Structure 1
């Protein structure tokens, strides 16, 4: 799909759900002024991207879409990162080293080690992208999950909720990041699956964790 840079950026933003739009802005918080970013509408965010990333706005948008993940929009709008066949390469879509480097340089998300740490029950350390994918499947009872399954303090979860009002997926994401900080080298998919097992969650949560 062709169009000017501004038209493409606006088309991408309009294609996102409200939750995805808020998540998109979340991943830009370390690169754009918060006072303008947080209340920004979709057209205003497009203008900010063009202003702060001259000549690279579409690259930045593509990397954030990979983190959501919305590879369909990358393909639809022919954004940077497609291969010759018009698909998102596996090493990028799958969260490999290339994506980790871009996430660090473009949207301020720190890369995660891919090695399997000893004594962690198998699997690699969960990345920011992994946690976001899980967070998008957790429901509105995330605080109960955090307290009863992940052993987090309710006061900390209340603080997360206050910092992200009406943004359930981002609350879940921050909760999982808090769990990962506590677990350290043991923050793997098998370990998270074990912790979440007592909760009555969507089976897709456990199916995703088996894939990670």
Structure 2
């Protein structure tokens, strides 16, 4: 059992039991007392507060994601994710799989209560995955980017990243040039390469 799997297991155990002792967790997870203490510390770092009252339990303000969703709700979300056109791209596909893992951990029922026909998806192009990941990294870290377009791969173009636009299966970047208030839309398919600049100059 990996650490992420063990943490999800502990969360589920703490939800299902009003009071859980360290030895109980050791026996169920098959690890040492030290490992369990480290796992509880990891849960605390993940903002999942625990209280101790003759045993460990989840705080009422734990805010566990999807706690109030029914199994049917979870099934519908999983269906929407797995059949989303964006899942054809490796970048989004990997993100969706992580969400599905969390959704699966929230359900006490192993088998789905709603039957859906799984659509076969193509995972997309690896180059576009790298470009997407880099674009999101630039947005999250407030960095400017340089783009090289397939129409002219000799030149780099300097932009401030704004957002990603999704229209059906088409993915585009909304960007601005420094000093230019007008937004530009650049299709992901037209981008040959991307790199992040060290400094970010916000567009006002």
TM-score category, normalised to shorter length: under 0.3
User: What is the TM-score with the length of structure 1 in the denominator?
Assistant: 0.25
Higher radius of gyration, 1 or 2: 2
The structure richer in strand per residue is 2
The structure richer in helix per residue is 1
